[in-house]
Amino acid sequence: MEGRKLSNTNPFDDLESEKGAYWTDGKNVNFLYTKIEGADLDSFLQYAGPWATDKNYCYWTSLRLEDADRETFNALNSTFAKDKFNVWRDDGKKLKGLDAGSFEIFGDKYSVTPCGFCKDKNHVYHYLSLIIEIVKNARPETFIPLNREFGHDGNNVFWHEKRIKKADIETFEVMKGVDINNEMIPYAKDKNKYYFCNKIVSKDEFEKGAGKISI
């Protein structure tokens, strides 16, 4: 992800954009109300959400990631950042057991929605806020997300980390759109069944729920 130079705009006006919450008063670098001590203004770059770098350090919010490799550090989206050694999540903590070199996210890199799929060479994962789960039996090399909720690997269909048993992959279709609160509605169908999340529901339940969707 490309870093951006700081502006002097009030970050509280734009917290939901890819610009993040860093700003400058022309002398100091700040994250929201907090001055970042020792940050180099001239080289400072902000990324989506809580990630930033300058010529010396990598940052999560106003704090330095002390063991981050500056040369290979990259923010993947507002939820994840990585270097050649480690992957961090959106609380400044390293995720254990992931292969940083092959780790990647699916979907919009500028999305601030903390939900979706990601993978490394060993596993597919689903993340929701600060929780990341292995999608068991999903093949990383063939996995395709259908949206933030559903995906398939050519053999099986998944909702979050759970396999949808006996779903027909050839005709499986997710309902596109969001509800009035801009939340994704996890309805889907295939030639045989209707689904809410990974549960089979009746046609009436499906049509009632999916009818709330606005495109």
Give per-residue pLDDT as tens, 102-145. 999 997 665 667 889 999 999 999 999 889 999 999 999 999 99
Strand ranges across the sheet with 29-31: 22-24, 29-31, 34-35
pLDDT tier for residue 200 given thresholds of 50, 70 and 90: very high
| Mean pLDDT of the residues in the chain | 88
Cα–Cα distance measured from residue 60 to residue 91, given in angstroms and rounded to the nearest whole number: 8
Q: Hey, is 125 helix, strand or coil? A: strand
- Global pTM reads 0.86
Do residues 82 and 69 lie in contact, with contact meaning Cβ atoms separated by under 8 Å? Answer: no
C-alpha dihedral sign at 152, 155, 157, 162: negative
Q: CA 100, 101, 103: angle at the middle one, nearest 5?
A: 60
Mean pLDDT, rounded, for 11-27: 68
Domain positions in the chain are 1-97
Order of all β-strands in the sheet with 80-82: 74-75, 80-82, 87-89
* Residues, the chain: 215
Question: CA 117 to CA 211: how far, in whole Å?
Answer: 26
